Amino acid sequence: MTSIGGSLIIGSYYGGNPSLTSLTALTGLTCIGGDLIIVNNNTLNSLTGLNNVTSIGGDLHINKNSFLTSLSGLNSLLSVSGSLIIGSYYGGNPSLTSLTGLNTLSGIGGDLNIIGNPALTSLTGLDNIEASSIMDLYIYDNNSLTTCEVNSICEYLVSPSGYVLIYGNAAGCNSQQEIETACGVWMEENKLSENHVNIYPNPTHGKITIEYTSNGHFSILNLSGQELITRQITEPRTQIDISRLPGGVYVVKLVGEKGVQIGKIMKE
């Protein structure tokens, strides 16, 4: 068997395969026309056997697999035409620690859901998903998740195309603002000075001037990701009074024609 025109469903919410330990019988499979659903298989600890699958025509749904520690076995997957759902509202994958098996995935056609995976610490593995292919973004109830600033998530949050819901994760990934702040530190190529944005004086005692030749949205955030001041930039030179802010270091973010640009200023 090399292809399936419809869905491949392994287990279900109402009763899985309690003794299933291996998917190696599926090694010839390269294409699934519908959904791939792997749910409620309590002794399955590997997805080896799906190594040659390159495309899924519907959703990819992996949930309630008690001993599954990684997604290795999906290393050839290039596209998912529907949503990517790792965990769900009713119980995630309690032993899943890594998403690195999805490194080759370059696009999805629906929502990105990472929900209820208590041992997951990082979204590394989702780096190569094209941000424009993501619709809604749901990242919540992953108690140990601290690293969310992967390329796909950072680019999506610049200009979300749908609904964003982020909460119940560890510090660093516990809100949209926290992730955006981490993305700003991580995206070194998006320095303000390299994109013809000039902010001065820096350090400042009170007012700053922003010189930018295009329109954009400017914001100042504290180091916890909380947005403190916002302003639309419609003129080549804009002055903002930050005298009411306490002394310290702040993140500045400008969303404009060149995407998101991040920098830091100091208030004395």
The strand order across the sheet containing 31-32 reads 3-4, 31-32, 55-56, 79-80, 107-108
pLDDT of residue 191: 54
User: Rounded to a whole number, what is the largest CA-CA distance in the chain?
Assistant: 70
User: 25-37 pLDDT, tens per residue?
Assistant: 999 999 999 999 9
User: What gap in Å lies between CA 200 and CA 154, rounded to an integer?
Assistant: 26
Beta bridge partners of 249: 266
Give the best-scoring range by mean pLDDT among 164-178, 221-235, 238-252: 164-178
Mean of the pLDDT values across residues 203-212? Answer: 89
Mean of the pLDDT values across residues 4-14? Answer: 91
Mean of the pLDDT values across residues 64-86? Answer: 95
Check if the beta carbon of residue 217 is closer than 8 Å to that of residue 256. Answer: yes
User: What gap in Å lies between CA 157 and CA 60, rounded to an integer?
Assistant: 22
User: 89-129 pLDDT, tens per residue?
Assistant: 677 899 999 999 999 999 999 999 999 999 999 999 998 99
User: Residue 66 pLDDT > 50, yes or no?
Assistant: yes
Predicted TM-score of the model (pTM): 0.72
Q: DSSP of 105-166, one letter per residue?
A: --EESS-EEEES-TT--B-TT-TTS-GGG--SEEEE--TT--B---HHHHHHHHS-SS-EEE
Residues of the chain with pLDDT > 90: what percent?
Answer: 60
Of 47, 55, 59, 69, the closest CA to residue 106 belongs to 55
User: Residue 53 pLDDT > 70, yes or no?
Assistant: yes
User: What gap in Å lies between CA 188 and CA 5, rounded to an integer?
Assistant: 44
pLDDT of residue 3: 95
Q: For residue 196, what are its two tokens? A: 């013809």
User: What gap in Å lies between CA 204 and CA 222, rounded to an integer?
Assistant: 16
User: Residue 153 pLDDT > 60, yes or no?
Assistant: yes
pLDDT of residue 189: 38
User: Residue 78 pLDDT > 50, yes or no?
Assistant: yes
51 Cβ contact list (under 8 Å, min separation 6): 27, 73, 74, 75, 76
User: Within 13 Å and on the Cβ side, how many CA atoms surround 215?
Assistant: 2
pLDDT of residue 89: 65
Of 176, 178, 13, 9, the closest CA to residue 92 belongs to 13
User: CA 253, 219, 225 angle in degrees (round to 5)?
Assistant: 75
Average pLDDT value for the chain: 89
For residue 87, is it left (φ>0), alpha (ψ between -120 and 50) or beta? left
User: 158-200 pLDDT, tens per residue?
Assistant: 778 899 999 999 998 999 888 887 776 444 434 565 567 888 8
3-class DSSP assignment, residue 179: helix
Decide which of 192 and 154 is more confident.
154
3-class DSSP assignment, residue 70: coil
Q: DSSP of 20-66, one letter per residue?
A: ----GGGTT--EESS-EEEE--TT----TT-TT--EESS-EEEE--T
Query: What is the DSSP pairing of strand 137-140 with strand 8-10?
Result: unpaired
Between the two ends of the chain, the Cα-to-Cα distance in Å is 68
Q: What's at 130, amino acid-wise? A: E
Domains of the chain: 1-186 (3.80.20), 188-267 (2.60.40.3080)
